[in-house]
Amino acid sequence: MESARLAAQTRCRDVAVLDLAVLWPVADYFIIATGSSARQMRTVADEITQLGGRFGMKAYSRSGYEGETWIAVDFIDVVVHIFSPAARVYYDLENLWGDAPKIPWDQEKPNLEEKANLSIEG
């Protein structure tokens, strides 16, 4: 959930965390956010990549970084999607993954034991 908090603290809007663990064997969580500009989206992607490193998680790939509509940072278990407003509406991942439960990420911070178990998303 720290990734979601970081996105929200860096001016991303409509941050959502989807729990995909029971629906898809490829990733456990999607973090979805809407950025305010391409530059801001790149900054958020960079900061989330650094945050992952602090939790011992490596970003295995990053797509769309040079574009202006969508950046995806893939930590394997967690995939962070940062969209422009128009791309967020167009791709509509929350509807596509409508069966995935939303995680209330903006609640109080988890304790250290929970953080260790949740790695980048915690």
Closest of 89, 88, 78 to residue 24, by C-alpha: 78
Give me the residue spans of the domains in the chain: 2-104
Q: Which residues contact 121 (CB under 8 A, 6 or more apart)?
A: 1, 2, 3, 4, 17, 28, 29, 31, 77, 78, 103
Neighbours of 78 (CB within 10 A): 25
pLDDT over 90 (residue 88): yes
pLDDT of amino acid 35: 97
pLDDT (mean) for 87-99: 96
pLDDT in tens, 34-81: 999 999 999 999 999 999 999 999 999 999 999 999 999 999 999 999
Angle at 28 between CA 22 and CA 2, to 5 degrees: 135
pTM: 0.84
- What CATH topology corresponds to 2-104? Beta Polymerase; domain 2 (3.30.460)
pLDDT over 90 (residue 107): no
| CA-to-CA separations, 22 to 29, 34, 59, 76, in angstroms, rounded | 10, 25, 22, 15
